[in-house]
Amino acid sequence: MNTATTHYPAAPTSEGIETRTLCVLVDNEPGVLARVIGLFSGRGYNIDSLTVSETEHQKHLSRITIVTRGTPMVLEQIKNQLDRLVPVHRVIDLTIANPAIQRELAMVKVRGTGDQRMEALRLADAFRARVIDATTESFVFEITGASDKIESFITLMLPVGLVEVSRTGVVAITRGPEGM
Amino acid sequence: MTEMTGAEMVIAALADQGVAHIFGYPGGAVLPIYDALFQQDKVQHILVRHEQGAVHAAEGYARSTGKVGTVLVTSGPGATNAVTGLTDALCDSIPLVVITGQVPTHLIGNDAFQECDTVGITRPCTKYNYLVKSVDDLPRVLHEAFHIASSGRPGPVVVDIPKDVQFAKGVYFKPKEFQHKGYRPKLDGDPAKIREAVELMAAAKRPLFYTGGGIINSGPAASEHLRELVKLTGFPITSTLMGLGAFPAADPQWLGMLGMHGTWEANWAMHDCDLMICIGARFDDRITGRLDAFSPGSKKIHVDIDPSSINKNVKVDLPIIGDCAHVLADMLRLWRENGAKPDKKALETWWAQIGKWRAKNSLAYRNSNEIIKPQYAIQRLYELTKDRDTYITTEVGQHQMWAAQFYQFQEGNRWMTSGGLGTMGYGLPASVGVQLAHPNSLVIDIAGEASVQMTMQEMSTAAQYDLPIKIFILNNQYMGMVRQWQELLHGGRYSHSYSEALPDFVKLADAYHAHGIRCSHPGELDDKIREMIDVKKPVIFDCVVDPTENCFPMIPSGRAHNEMLLGDAATRVEDAVTEEGKMLV
């Protein structure tokens, strides 16, 4: 007897999982985000982060930045599947194209008094986070940076009274003079 | 540039797009369009009995003509009933424009009567869909819908039109040349890659063409170029279920269909070839069998218009994105320009090997004088209809595979079957659409007694429009393919696969104003098939066949192409299926 497999393709186990940041340029029309998200859920792809906003108002073009994970074969599928959606103009793999700059913005609310409060401020200063709201017992910090920097900041805020976090998700752009 | 209502725009756009027939069913949310239909005679409306039937009929119409099939249904249940047909058309890349009514815009999202989120429900089962919220967008959307449905990899497009938009007045314009904002299917393949492909072909020792529905969808030119290229190269050719007819089955270079129920020679050639030239097929799991043992020694060229088909299941060496007709034309030109000569000696050896596989006669079955074997029934049907202008549709199951194996297709657009989705109940309404497009042709639905009951109501449509479709039922009193798998995988426990309490199909024919024929003896078969052909009205032919016959050859689950089973090996099948294979049939 041969090794048992099936008619259905087995999950590729030998290939490693990679993380990619994709930039998807789409017509800003009703339902376009549903199409993109539906593609991911329908085909079982992962979304780690997703941001979307209209970036070219005159042409009604929106830019969707998606951070996704998968084997190289799955990642190629994701790009091709996105590319064939009718309202999708371009799909660019920012991880491959040219090492891209990736940033996130987070707003972090902490609550505390006395030393805790001072410690929160000191840490915020070290991370170059700005105070955008303050009461006698709380701060809201605004921090911008790569996702891992934001992660470490949030971790540090835990013991000094972290209440709530709101994050934008990743936006990205290529380095150098060329546009996409 | 004329002012008219949204409903009138729908009719005007259909007429301008060359639509002669639209299949549909009225309801509250499309009444303005039905009113507009009533007052014109450019577009003929065909009233079906269920919206699924409308979509399958439009698919049959589209596949047999190469045109876009059209459907008109109401909101809510009208739209949801169309979903199976839409999914079917998406899987098999059939161009359709489906117009659905919607509740008035101010009621959308209000859980109004017969409201459903049509664009939400149909988003994953259409190539594209629209909700038209303003009559000003309507002419553009309608023309765009036809363009998107028929270009690139074809597929179904839904246009959802709220009732107030149908009443609203606006300015209509005729279809014109336009460039879609972003949607631009790539038709021409990369010349460098095509050159490389031709070089690989000239150097191949054991080459094989593996072709699919893409050739049919690309149009008659693709089929012509393919025939020419196959002749020029002298290579063997096999095809998927969807591609049957693109290359004539009578040709000696034809190896028969490949895949799960493909021929011994086609599957062995796939396994042993050193160059696979895949054109317009997509390495579906019914084709590849076990992936890690799929054609291990071959270089693979893959021509497809849809980049997402490339490297989806099988890693290929040379992908070429483009329309089959364009790429094949380029291949032909380059082959001639290069004065390419195939390796004759190697090809001779290859053909000798193929000859040995052919000698297995893998489609052989034991015929009987007592009981009609389903294979025999199809063979006789073929012999008695081959000289006529015949179109074949099927339902899904054993009868479908036997039809694919034993009915010999010599040209494209003659074979309409639900390949990707495997929709039982497809064939009868599809034959309605085919017959409407080809009123003087012989249109036969090769059916099973279980499948055909799923859309039997469309016999009434056939009667209403005098469509002399022939429903040729291979009645084995089982959902045959389910029974076959239960026999092979589940210890012969035939859980709910027996067709109990079957209707009397002859009486049923009578009830539907059709002609009923029953045949249960091989000796009577020819005469009764002739009777079926000669009757100038719809026929239900109840062909009572051997209830225990299984469909072979077969690649059992968990096996590779070179491990297929033949009919006379049936007793060994049960041991041959692996445990894991049983889980994932």
Between B86 and A98, whose confidence is greater?
B86
pLDDT attached to residue B289: 84
Amino acid in position B316? V
Amino acid in position B105? T
Instruction: Tell me the C-alpha distance between A67 and B38, whole Å.
Output: 53
Closest to B282 in 3D by CA, of B322, B253, B311: B311
User: Which residues of B make CB contacts under 8 Å with A?
Assistant: 119-120, 123-124, 127-128, 131, 148, 153, 180-183, 260, 285-286, 288-293, 306-308, 310-313, 315, 555, 557-560, 563, 578-581, 583-585
Which of A8, A81, A89 has the CB atom closest to B308's CB atom? A81
Q: What is the 3-state secondary structure (H, E, C) of B401-459?
A: HHHHHHCCCCCCCCEECCCCCCCCCCHHHHHHHHHHHCCCCEEEEEEECCHHHHCHHHH
Between A176 and B424, whose confidence is greater?
B424
- What domains can be seen in chain A, in order of their start residue? 18-97 (3.30.70.260), 101-174 (3.30.70.1150)
In total, the C-beta contacts within 8 angstroms joining chain A to chain B are 89
pLDDT digits (tens, 9 = 90+) for B343-354: 999 999 999 999
Check pLDDT > 90 for residue B173. Answer: yes
Q: What residues of chain A lie within 8 A of the CB of B293, using their CB?
A: 2
């309404």: which residue's tokens?
B429
pLDDT attached to residue B179: 77
Instruction: Tell me the C-alpha distance between B468 and B466, whole Å.
Output: 6
pLDDT attached to residue B405: 97
Cβ of residue A4 closer than 8 Å to a chain B Cβ: yes
Mean local confidence (pLDDT), A93-110: 90
Would you call B124 and A2 a contact, using CB atoms and an 8 Å cutoff?
no
Mean local confidence (pLDDT), B237-243: 98
pLDDT attached to residue B181: 81
**How large is the angle between the packed helices B138-150 and B6-16, nearest 10 degrees?**
30
Task: Share the mean pLDDT of chain B.
Answer: 95
The distance of B239 to chain A (nearest Cα, Å) reads 18
Mean local confidence (pLDDT), B51-80: 98
pLDDT attached to residue B578: 56
pLDDT digits (tens, 9 = 90+) for B445-468: 999 999 999 999 999 999 999 999
Percentage of chain B with pLDDT > 70?
97
Q: What residues of chain A lie within 8 A of the CB of B307, using their CB?
A: 80, 83-84
Check pLDDT > 90 for residue B229. Answer: yes
Cβ of residue A164 closer than 8 Å to a chain B Cβ: no
Chain B residue at shortest CA distance from A90: B182
Per-residue pLDDT band for A96 (boundaries 50, 70, 90) equals confident
pLDDT digits (tens, 9 = 90+) for B391-415: 999 999 999 999 999 999 999 999 9
- What domains can be seen in chain B, in order of their start residue? 2-172 (3.40.50.970), 191-358 (3.40.50.1220), 374-544 (3.40.50.970)
Name the phi and psi angles at B44, rounded to 5. Answer: -90, 130
- Does B51 qualify as catalytic in the annotation? yes
Instruction: Tell me the C-alpha distance between B262 and B552, whole Å.
Output: 8
Check pLDDT > 60 for residue B584. Answer: no
Most B CBs within 10 Å, among A1, A2, A5, A56, to test the B interface: A5
DSSP assigned state of B524: G
Mean local confidence (pLDDT), B315-332: 97
pLDDT attached to residue A6: 45
Cβ of residue A57 closer than 8 Å to a chain B Cβ: no
Chain A residue at shortest CA distance from B132: A30
Q: Can you tell me whether residue B46 is helix, strand or coil?
A: strand
DSSP A93-126: EHHHHS-EEEEEEEEEEEE--THHHHHHHHHHHH
pTM of the predicted structure, to 2 decimals: 0.94
The distance of A29 to chain B (nearest Cα, Å) reads 10
Chain B residue at shortest CA distance from A80: B308
Which of B123, B290, B555 has the CB atom closest to A35's CB atom? B123
Cβ–Cβ < 8 Å for B55, B95: no
**Strand residue runs (E) in B104-206:** 128-131, 156-162, 169-172
Would you call B580 and A5 a contact, using CB atoms and an 8 Å cutoff?
yes
Would you call B285 and A8 a contact, using CB atoms and an 8 Å cutoff?
yes
| CA neighbours closer than 13 Å in the CB half-sphere of residue B55 | 32
pLDDT attached to residue B177: 76
Closest to B454 in 3D by CA, of B48, B77, B50: B50
Contacts of A38 (CB under 8 A, 6+ apart): B123, B124
Would you call A7 and B310 a contact, using CB atoms and an 8 Å cutoff?
no
pLDDT digits (tens, 9 = 90+) for B326-337: 999 999 999 999
Lowest model confidence (mean pLDDT) among B135-139, B468-472, B477-481, B572-576: B572-576
pLDDT attached to residue B570: 39
- Does B113 qualify as catalytic in the annotation? yes
Would you call B285 and A9 a contact, using CB atoms and an 8 Å cutoff?
yes
Mean local confidence (pLDDT), B17-33: 98
pLDDT digits (tens, 9 = 90+) for B139-156: 999 999 999 999 999 999
Per-residue pLDDT band for A4 (boundaries 50, 70, 90) equals very low
Cβ–Cβ < 8 Å for B440, B467: no
The β-bridge partners of B157 are B97, B128
pLDDT attached to residue B178: 73
| Per-residue tokens: B424 | 């039982």
pLDDT attached to residue A3: 36
Contacts of A113 (CB under 8 A, 6+ apart): A136, A137
Check pLDDT > 70 for residue B262. Answer: yes
Cβ of residue A76 closer than 8 Å to a chain B Cβ: yes
pLDDT digits (tens, 9 = 90+) for A132-145: 999 999 999 999 99
Mean local confidence (pLDDT), B494-511: 96
Would you call B313 and A9 a contact, using CB atoms and an 8 Å cutoff?
yes
Catalytic position from the list B40, B42, B113, B174:
B113
pLDDT attached to residue A176: 87
- CA dihedral (B271, B277, B279, B282) in degrees, to 10, reads 40
pLDDT attached to residue B571: 42
The distance of B230 to chain A (nearest Cα, Å) reads 29
Q: What residues of chain B lie within 8 A of the CB of A24, using their CB?
A: none
Per-residue pLDDT band for B573 (boundaries 50, 70, 90) equals very low
- Does B532 qualify as catalytic in the annotation? no
- Does B3 qualify as catalytic in the annotation? no
Catalytic position from the list B17, B23, B51, B257:
B51
